[in-house]
Amino acid sequence: MKTVIKTPVTVEKVVERVTEERSEIVDVPGGPGELLETNVYVQCTSYAYTGILKGVNDTYIEIMNPHIVYMTGAWSRKTFETAEALPTKKLVLFQAQIEGMFTIDR
């Protein structure tokens, strides 16, 4: 289906419209900062990781004792079906790649 634009739209107009509609996020209850010092499961766009969440800023999170999770298995299990320790004590992930994160007792 074709869309016909009767009035030309400039980039400036689009930016102005998006800026008007965007609301500023000041505090996010339940954000990653509330999970500091806990064992977390982090689902990213490509892989999943687990470890102790040690640091959070606007761009990154830092996980200590990181493991990459290939298969979780049943969530009722006490361990992941397939997880491998990474060859580092600290893993830094871009927050933009994170789809979800929660605490986990594994």
- pLDDT 10s digits, 45-78: 999 999 999 999 888 999 999 999 999 999 999 9
88: in domain:
yes
Q: pLDDT above 90 covers what percent of the chain?
A: 62
Q: What is the CATH number of the domain that holds 37?
A: 2.30.30.100
Report the domain count for the chain.
1
Q: Which domain holds residue 96?
A: 27-103
- Report how far Cα 13 is from the mean position of its chain's Cα atoms: 31
pLDDT higher than threshold 90 for residue 104: yes
Is the confidence at residue 84, as pLDDT, over 70? yes
CA distances to 49, 74, 97 from 71, in Å: 11, 9, 19
| List of E strands, 14-59 | 39-44, 48-56
Instruction: Enter the DSSP assignment of 95.
Output: G
Question: Which one, of 88, 93, 44, lies nearest residue 66 by Cα?
Answer: 88
Per the domain annotation, does 51 fall within a domain? yes
Residue 11 lies in a domain: no
d(CA 63, CA 78): 20
96 located within any domain: yes
Does residue 17 fall inside a structural domain? no
13: in domain? no
Does 2 map to a domain?
no
